[in-house]
A = this chain, B = another copy of it.
Amino acid sequence: MDRTELLQKYSHVPVLDHGHVKLVDLMGDDERIEQVARLSYQRGTRKKNETRGLLRYLLKHRHTSPFEQVAVTLDMKLPIFVARQLVRHRTQKLNEMSGRYSVLPEEFYLPPLEQICLQNPTNKQGRSEPLPYDDAVIIRERMKRHCEEGFLIYRELLDRGVARETARIHLPLNTYTQWCTTWDGHNLLHMLELRMDEHAQWEIRQYAHAIALIVQEWLPITWEAFQDYRVGAITLSRQERNYVRLKGPYWGSDLSDREQAELMKKFGFEGMKIPPLG
């Protein structure tokens, strides 16, 4: 899919009850990443079907800088409590609407009933089972009325002439804000890895998934490598390595010769191929 089609297709992705991700612009693609890497290593132009091999090699071995040479600009509308999590990624270029300049529209996020859940007893920062339906309905209604009351006071204060920068300070953290943000490919993938994770708050994951939709069509080869070498990978500590061993058989292995050699090396068998029987 080319740049124009992507801009068209993702011109408005709805997220949560009033939010969105809008694709504003793109620069570069999988081929650009390859081209930049070939300049770095002066490897010259290769055959087309070697693009995939090179991108996978780069991502696997954490040669991250070529992925910084592509960029995406997004227009996002999101609750402030989600924005407060996303803003911690410092390498993005960010312009947010200002509640000092502008009157904030009365838009706030309310969780869907099935996302009003109990505190997770083991994971201190997470949720577990949904509350009973009737409880969830009551809670959601209670939140809704409180937020509406907040915006009522806000408008009242503005009517009395109170400065916008003061009139908004009691508004709730689920008020929607909007921003424009530009990311390079490497830092975007790193953010997605953290924010698509099951430990991330459900609401921010919805934004990560919306952005992921765009990235997997924009950078399909990179995205596949990202799934294989980052999202789907596991890391074993020095201690954990002792409790794991290579197994077989390996006939018809989907690992290339180089990957087989690298895997063997991870388990201390340098210079060998994966044996035919475990």
Contact = CB atoms under 8 A, between A and B. Distances in A.
Given A40-B96, A131-B161, A250-B243, A169 B79 contact: yes
Contacts of A4: none
Interface in A130-182: 131, 135, 139, 142-143, 146-147, 149-150, 153, 156-158, 160-166, 168-175, 178-180, 182
Interface string A55-69: 000001000011011
Given A95-B39, A125-B165, A245-B244, A239 B266 contact: no
Q: Which 5 A-B pairs have the closest CB atoms?
A: A232-B238, A127-B163, A42-B102, A68-B93, A27-B27
Contacts of A81: 99, 168-169
Interface of A: 25-28, 32, 36-37, 39-43, 60, 65-66, 68-69, 71, 73, 75, 79-81, 84, 87-88, 90-91, 93-102, 108-109, 111, 115-120, 124-128, 131, 135, 139, 142-143, 146-147, 149-150, 153, 156-158, 160-166, 168-175, 178-180, 182, 184, 201, 227-229, 231-241, 243-248, 250, 253-255, 259, 263, 266-267, 274, 278
Contacts of A28: 25, 73
Main secondary structure of the interface of A (DSSP, over half): mixed
Contacts of A274: 243
Given A40-B179, A233-B241, 14 more contacts: A40-B95, A40-B96, A65-B93, A84-B87, A88-B94, A93-B184, A126-B163, A143-B169, A150-B172, A169-B172, A233-B240, A236-B236, A243-B248, A243-B250
